[in-house]
Structure 1
Amino acid sequence: MIWRGYILALSFCCCCLLLLAAPAPAPAPITHPSEVSALLAVKKQLVDPKNNLRNWDKGDPCTSNWTGILCFYNLGKDGYLHVQELQLLNMNLSGTLAPELGQLSHLKILDFMWNELTGSIPKEIGHISTLRLLLLNGNKLYGSLPDELGYLSNLIRLQLDQNNISGQIPKTFANMSCVRHLHLNNNSLAGQIPPELSQIFTLLHLLLDNNNLSGYLPPEFSNLPDLRILQLDNNDFSGSVIPASYRNFSRLVKLSLRNCGLQGAVPDLSRIPSLTYLDLSRNHLAGPIPENKLSENMTTIDLSDNQLKGSIPGSFSDLPSLQTLSLKNNFLTGPVPTNIWQNMSFSTSARLKLDLRNNSFSSIQGHLNPPVNVTLRLEGNPVCKNANLLNVNLFCGSEPGEDKMLTNFNDSIANCPIQACPTDNFYEYVPASPLPCFCAAPLRIGYRLKSPSFSYFPPYIQPLEVYLTSSLKLSRYQLSIDTYSWEKGPRLRMYLKLFPSINVNHSSTFNVSEVQRIRHLYTSWTFPGSALFGPYELLNFTLLGPYADMKFENENQGISKGILVAVAVGGVACAVAMSVIITILITRRYTGNRHAMSRKCLYTKVSMRLGGVKYFTFKEMALATDNFNSSNQVGQGGYGKVYKGTLPDKTVVAIKRAEEGSLQGQKEFFTEIKLLSRLHHRNLVSLVGYCDEEGEQMLVYEFLPNGTLRDWLSAKSKRSLNFGMRLRIALGSAKGILYLHTEAHPPLQPWKTRELCQIMCPQLCGEHQATLIQNTF
């Protein structure tokens, strides 16, 4: 009886050593207490009339799925869950932002867009070093911008537009070394634009329009290597000129300096290869328009409301993508060149709008017969008083209609029965569906292009559809642009409808995971960049009809109750397996030295056949493991290597191949096989067979595919175990050892303390497939 306690004590001690050697144990998966306190403080300062945050005091933020909280269940080094996203878009919230937001130290996305928040931006937000998206646009925030926001070195998007923020732009913003999108437009910012912003070499979009900025235009901006959009409309740079260095922009697509009080000449921007949109209207620019040809990508040229003189450059007649040329309210003279449209080839969706009103054009050069795609405005010019010009009056008073598309309608659904698609339940026919009269419930999305590089949308509807559906990984027919309209900015607002795929059992609705995936793509701004369409903003993601009560859950990768049970069972399996390893090594210790043999030598033996254990040839083992290919190796220990193999009957097995120095005598090898074949336990993997041929010794076990318990105990797995679970496994392992030495038939013999721990701890679950957890995770 003494040796039983001896074995139990040794087993317990060795497992405890493993626990001590493993990383610091994590508590049960809960949100870090400081972050829970921070969230409660945030809620306390918010006014929530629709009670959207009613579950913010129930359970744990991460595990109980608080509204707008995303954690993704990655345990931190401290063993806690951490809030990674705070998504409270368009929830009718008012009140103020709490300084405790700065305690959310693992936050990546902070989104309060399109609410009614007031007060100032807490400086503590600048302490969230992990923050990548700071989205506070569309509120009523006021006060100045905190210098501390410049500490956000990992920030890639800052959207503070459409608020009442005042004061100057902090120079510390130059420290945002990763920011790509800086949207501060539509506020009350004042003072000089910091030239230091030119140090943000990652900057793609700089939107500062509709503020009270003054001073001069920083010439250093032309050094920004990737800048695509520079939009500074409706500020007051009176007396300033457009820097000559702006002609050196290398990748600029859109330059918009409307109504900025600028003086001087129009710069020659012909050297900017990708320039598409140029708006210098409503300034005090004088002199002639440069003659050099602009980029062939030009869609829009607006030089109206200046003091320009001279004639229309001939290079304007060689811009194949031109949609808008506005030169109204200047002092231009000479003839109106009709070759501007005569040299263009129009598709059915193309359009050219020429606004030449209120100049001094006195004649027409060429035939005044523009195609229907061309809109020409000539009123306010002397040429309109020339009665001898045929058709001239047709262009001296017309008013073009608004660019707006009404609800998308397709002929393919014109004959579909109305009663078959219940519109009161928010279902409708899919306009472009390849399946006739396919009725489904769409997702309704408010979407706005903040700074598109075109002025007429129809030619770009199809490219936008391709862009959106490819980004969302949807088919083209699943998207319908319901309506669109131009807004002040100019910005292009539209309503999108996304329909479920007909390939998923012809389902008429999206499932929860698909809705969550699509929403995440929009809210995380993971769409690929588009110079043509520019930055976008999500106005709303409306869930109606069958989606109204949809509940989103965090992507729980934590440890479930089933996993805990499986790990406990695995602990017993591991204990049993340790004893098997001990038995093998004991047998080897007493016989290995007497019966060493070389793997390279062939010998004659008498094949033995054991009941219930299959004999395999060396050729069968080689075929099962692809000639013992290293890609099939799943483990290695002192005995040898373990390979994953597939038998001819498709059975997957674990083949343990002895190394040359570990080979036993034939008698001892078969004694070991007899021993293993007689050990049976529900948590011990079974011995399938063996191979003793061509100088090889191999044992074939059933294969369990889910990693070793050692990995789980030592936190090599992504899902580490807390101390309580480790202790339960240790006790279970000790009981398993005791079982093998008291109740198993035949019982196994004990080993000395030092060698027992050397075997159990370093090799625990390392080389033997019997130690693999016997459950699927």
Structure 2
Amino acid sequence: MLKLRIPISALVLSCCYFVYLVEAEVTAPSEVNALIAVKSSLIDPMKHLANWKKGDPCTSNWTGVICFDTFGTDGYMHVCKIQLLNMNLSGSLAPAVGQLSQLLILDFMWNELTGSIPKEIGSIASLRLLLLNGNKLSGSLPDELGHLSNLNRLQVDLNQLSGPIPKSFAGLSSMRHLHLNNNTISGHIPAELSSISTLLHLLLDNNNLSGYLPQEFSLLPDLRILQLDNNNFEGTEIPASYGNFSRLVKLSLRNCSLEGLILDLSQIPNLSFLDLSHNRLSGPIPSNKLSDNITTIDLSNNLLNGSIPASFSDLPSLQRLSLENNSLTGSVPANIWQNMTFTPSEMLIIDLQENSFSDVVGDLNPPENVSLRLGGNPVCSKRNITNISQFCANEGGDDGTRGNSVNSTNCLTQACPTDNFFEYVPASPVQCFCASPLRIGYRLKSPSFSYFPPYEDSFEVYVTSYLNMELYQLHIDSYAWEVGPRMRMYLKLFPVVNGPTTFNASEVQRIRGIFTSWKFPGDDLFGPYELLNFTLLGPYSTMILPNQKTNISKGILVAIVLSSIACVVAISAMITLFIARKTRYQPSLSRKNLSSKVSMKLEGVKAFTFREMAVATDNFNRSTQVGQGGYGKVYKGNLYDNTVVAIKRAEEGSLQGQKEFLTEIKLLSRLHHRNLVSLVGYCDEEGEQMLVYEFMPNGTLRDWISGKAKDYLNFSMRLRVALGSAKGILYLHTEANPPVFHRDIKASNILLDSKLTAKVADFGLSRLAPVLDDEGTVPHHVSTIVKGTPGYLDPEYFLTHKLTDKSDVYSLGVVFLELLTGMQPISHGKNIVREVNMAHQAGMMFSIIDSRMGSYPSECVERFVALALMCCHDKPEKRPSMLDVVRELESILKMMPDADAILSETTSIYSGTSLPSSSTFMSRDPHISSSVSGSDLISGVVPTVTPR
């Protein structure tokens, strides 16, 4: 036996070593060393780059590394792309990156890189896309970047860069998209940039630029967007040459300290968007007619005089005319809107507030599509003008700043497994086709319109045509305008109907490649875009995407194949001999030995046998099953001492379940609170994993909200449930040691006991809160892959992968909205947060309140609504803490007629802390507030409302 074993071992070692040598020499050694140096300078908390030390970069699928599919003339393969978008990387970018001599794309967008941009990047002559936006890079722009004559797109926006724009950038002779906005870049704009004849988009807004506007820019033959907002060109006039742009679509010079007259821009044939607001421009508005494409004219907050030009009455595409805060006089011509034909999706905002208009010429009866604002003008004091008062309130109004694209379906959402990120294809040509979409965060960086709905259809055609997909496969889940103005969107891409319900790996790779390589052709109306995230959730979360398809030369391929065969034969022989020998002396393994075994002794948590679980559930009889989730089935069981328990049994072979199993045991064994479900014990034998909890006879909150329960919850009960849930989560955030982020708060994870006391359950996805780092500070977030349930996911966590206590606050806010309305978080393409926000802003909140909760004090409901919407604010810093949530709920409960009875059952865990006054919480956000004054609330006069 010994004689056989030695040569086989030697053969295995020699064969595998030969394969290693072959693979180790595929990628150019200098590039391997460069990649290792890049990794060493990065901080990678989520271990995305853990495989950057195994095998060869071009053949071992290193994360984000893509190589050319052929060998170079030097006999090596070379790296062509590094794409590490949105991976929570910090640290700095190593100068060694400049050794990747054949790189085409360098993409580190949306990370947290610090330090300066290495000047060595300027030596990568082949580079076409340099994408470093959305980091914390500082220092100045290296002169050496001007050597990149093949560079097509430079995005370093949203960093902390300073210093001047190098004159050497005139050498960027292939540049089409130069995005330097949102930094602290200073100095003059180099006139030399006008020599970049290929330039399409020049975004320099939100910097500290000064001096003058280069008149030479008008010579750029293809320039479409010139955006210089929020700089300081003190005392500068707009160059007269700017009236000669041949292809300009958008001119945005807002808040630039400009003076002088407004130019006649009527000779720019395709001008769609003009923003000269917040300057010191004077004189009259030019009377010549602008382009028929114009959607937006913003001349507000200047020193303009004279009247509204008659040419403004013949602009068929106009969406917004903002002339407020000037010194304009004369009459308001009603034919601005009377000459326009509106479709239901179109809107026109005419803001003329704070001028000196004395009259309205024409019929003052604009259609519903028109929002006319006349506040602060003398015309508002004229009582002989019919209907004038309704246009005279100083207001901002609804500018269509957010919305969702709804394609309704008659399908029942309960039939689609939403917990696994499946949903009905909204515009499916086949009734009720259920599939799992790809979810994409997307932003239009400089659109040339002010109102999106009229262009929604053309946008969908624009995207799907270049993805080679059917129109129904794209769904715009939501959109919202941001400062810029920019428009953030969340897109969903669905598989084709009557086919697989998920995309395969190669199709996901193809779609992602189109977005990350900027293969969409330019569109003047939508402007430049940026990919915010391409997060793989649900069935895609475990998908391994190949970074490249490598065509290895025939000789090397033959060598690798032959060596691999030899290795396989040798290893098989060794395994056969080993098994044969071991079988002589080892008994066969039972199923029990294959269990994961929780190797720990936990105080107060009992380890049950499989037999005890089988007896408690009548051998897991279907009659004892009370629920089912992604983890497995839940049974009602009776233990030997007649204790009634809930037994959650993992599906066989569930790796995710095994991880959640261990997580939940470790957490719940040390978490004890009346509003958290208690763990009685666990079973970990016979190949089974089961968790044993106290039994909650009244099921889930979702059952009660949906009407599946035997009765309904009135408003007082719903407040009690809300407060109990909030207290349980507050305990997790502040009293648990260390604190815990739940990560999957939803109505189906809030259970009700026999007294309808709310208890938070299911800690399988929970994460411990951050602890002290090496510098003695506590980070504000945990970096983690996105997990949770659609509809409850914090948008910021979804986008950045940063889990915080405010992520739980958002999810609980969604539960509050469910309690108030009876709606599901996502139903028929509608999102509960958007629907309630829209109803609240329109003053129609009580029309969507759940009628099944009976009568209620209107003021209490209004405050509960305001609290829920505050919890669901897009920005985490605007959300209340969980302590604030508990205090506000207790304050609302004190206003209820049966307050004493309710509060006696929900005693404050902060009884020593004074509660805020009735108006304390409401004053935090002017956008979400109650119409009831604090004195009215304190007085105790609480009228009730009974829904019809």
The answer on 1:97 being equivalent to 2:93 is: yes
1:88 to 72, 84, 88: 84
- In the alignment, what sits opposite 2:544? 551
* Partners of 1:354 and 1:374 within 8 A in 2: yes
1:262-411 superposed matches below 5 A: 262-397=258-393, 398-411=395-408
- In the alignment, what sits opposite 2:64? 68
1:148-170 CA deviation, whole Å, 9 max, x = no partner?
Answer: 00000000000000000000000
1:484-509 CA deviation, whole Å, 9 max, x = no partner?
Answer: 00000000111000001125xx2100
- Whole-angstrom CA distance in 1 between matches of 2:537 and 2:402: 24
Equivalent position amino acid for 2:551 in 1:
Q
1:34-433 superposed matches below 5 A: 34-397=30-393, 398-411=395-408, 413-414=409-410, 416-433=411-428
The Cα shift of 1:555 comes to: 1.3
The Cα shift of 1:420 comes to: 2.6
1:490 to 485, 491, 494: 485
Q: Relative to structure 1, is the Cα distance of residues 142 and 399 closer, same or farther in structure 2, using a 3 angstrom cutoff?
A: closer
The Cα shift of 1:566 comes to: 12
1:461-503 CA deviation, whole Å, 9 max, x = no partner?
Answer: 0010000000111100000000000000000111000001125
- Whole-angstrom CA distance in 2 between matches of 1:452 and 1:271: 21
The Cα shift of 1:402 comes to: 4.5
Q: Relative to structure 1, is the Cα distance of residues 86 and 565 closer, same or farther in structure 2, using a 3 angstrom cutoff?
A: closer
Q: Relative to structure 1, is the Cα distance of residues 124 and 565 closer, same or farther in structure 2, using a 3 angstrom cutoff?
A: closer
1:465 to 437, 442, 460: 460
* Partners of 1:29 and 1:75 within 8 A in 2: no
The Cα shift of 1:367 comes to: 1.1
The answer on 1:443 being equivalent to 2:464 is: no
Gaps of 5+ in 1: 1-25, 569-777
Q: Relative to structure 1, is the Cα distance of residues 428 and 406 closer, same or farther in structure 2, using a 3 angstrom cutoff?
A: farther
Q: Relative to structure 1, is the Cα distance of residues 286 and 402 closer, same or farther in structure 2, using a 3 angstrom cutoff?
A: closer
SS in 2 for 1:166: coil
* Partners of 1:426 and 1:441 within 8 A in 2: yes
- In the alignment, what sits opposite 1:508? 501
The Cα shift of 1:563 comes to: 5.4
- Whole-angstrom CA distance in 1 between matches of 2:416 and 2:518: 34
* Partners of 1:180 and 1:202 within 8 A in 2: yes
- Whole-angstrom CA distance in 2 between matches of 1:502 and 1:426: 17
The Cα shift of 1:558 comes to: 1.7
- In the alignment, what sits opposite 2:531? 538
- In the alignment, what sits opposite 1:624? none
* Partners of 1:105 and 1:130 within 8 A in 2: yes
- Whole-angstrom CA distance in 2 between matches of 1:558 and 1:402: 56
Equivalent position amino acid for 1:41 in 2:
A
Q: Relative to structure 1, is the Cα distance of residues 156 and 35 closer, same or farther in structure 2, using a 3 angstrom cutoff?
A: same
RMSD: 1.6
Equivalent position amino acid for 1:271 in 2:
Q
1:552-571 superposed matches below 5 A: 552-553=545-546, 554-559=548-553, 564=558
1:514-529 superposed matches below 5 A: 514-529=507-522
SS in 1 for 2:259: coil
The Cα shift of 1:527 comes to: 0.4
Equivalent position amino acid for 1:141 in 2:
L
SS in 1 for 2:161: strand
Equivalent position amino acid for 1:129 in 2:
A
Q: Relative to structure 1, is the Cα distance of residues 255 and 407 closer, same or farther in structure 2, using a 3 angstrom cutoff?
A: closer
The Cα shift of 1:410 comes to: 2.8
The Cα shift of 1:73 comes to: 2.2
- Whole-angstrom CA distance in 2 between matches of 1:230 and 1:205: 6
- Whole-angstrom CA distance in 2 between matches of 1:92 and 1:567: 38
- In the alignment, what sits opposite 2:715? none
Q: TM-score, normalised on structure 2?
A: 0.56
* Partners of 2:230 and 2:254 within 8 A in 1: yes
* Partners of 2:122 and 2:144 within 8 A in 1: yes
SS in 1 for 2:478: strand
- In the alignment, what sits opposite 1:20? none
- Whole-angstrom CA distance in 2 between matches of 1:508 and 1:27: 37
- In the alignment, what sits opposite 1:5? none
- Whole-angstrom CA distance in 2 between matches of 1:402 and 1:361: 23
1:578-631 CA deviation, whole Å, 9 max, x = no partner?
Answer: xxxxxxxxxxxxxxxxxxxxxxxxxxxxxxxxxxxxxxxxxxxxxxxxxxxxxx
* Partners of 1:101 and 1:124 within 8 A in 2: yes
Equivalent position amino acid for 2:397 in 1:
P
- Whole-angstrom CA distance in 1 between matches of 2:529 and 2:523: 10
1:372-391 CA deviation, whole Å, 9 max, x = no partner?
Answer: 10000000100011111110
* Partners of 1:404 and 1:483 within 8 A in 2: no
1:358-402 CA deviation, whole Å, 9 max, x = no partner?
Answer: 000011111101011000000010001111111000101154225
Equivalent position amino acid for 2:490 in 1:
Y
Query: Percent identity among equivalent residues?
Result: 67
1:701-720 CA deviation, whole Å, 9 max, x = no partner?
Answer: xxxxxxxxxxxxxxxxxxxx
SS in 1 for 2:185: strand
* Partners of 1:62 and 1:73 within 8 A in 2: no
Equivalent position amino acid for 1:542 in 2:
T
* Partners of 1:286 and 1:306 within 8 A in 2: yes
How many equivalent pairs are there?
539
- Whole-angstrom CA distance in 2 between matches of 1:404 and 1:191: 34
Q: Relative to structure 1, is the Cα distance of residues 28 and 162 closer, same or farther in structure 2, using a 3 angstrom cutoff?
A: closer
- Whole-angstrom CA distance in 2 between matches of 1:480 and 1:370: 33
Q: Relative to structure 1, is the Cα distance of residues 178 and 27 closer, same or farther in structure 2, using a 3 angstrom cutoff?
A: same
1:555-704 superposed matches below 5 A: 555-559=549-553, 564=558
1:625-656 CA deviation, whole Å, 9 max, x = no partner?
Answer: xxxxxxxxxxxxxxxxxxxxxxxxxxxxxxxx
SS in 2 for 1:364: strand
* Partners of 1:287 and 1:309 within 8 A in 2: yes
SS in 2 for 1:361: strand
Q: Relative to structure 1, is the Cα distance of residues 175 and 562 closer, same or farther in structure 2, using a 3 angstrom cutoff?
A: closer
- Whole-angstrom CA distance in 1 between matches of 2:326 and 2:561: 81
* Partners of 1:408 and 1:431 within 8 A in 2: no
Q: Relative to structure 1, is the Cα distance of residues 326 and 405 closer, same or farther in structure 2, using a 3 angstrom cutoff?
A: closer
* Partners of 2:261 and 2:282 within 8 A in 1: yes
Q: TM-score, normalised on structure 1?
A: 0.68
Q: Relative to structure 1, is the Cα distance of residues 251 and 419 closer, same or farther in structure 2, using a 3 angstrom cutoff?
A: same
Gaps of 5+ in 2: 1-21, 563-948
- Whole-angstrom CA distance in 2 between matches of 1:253 and 1:520: 28
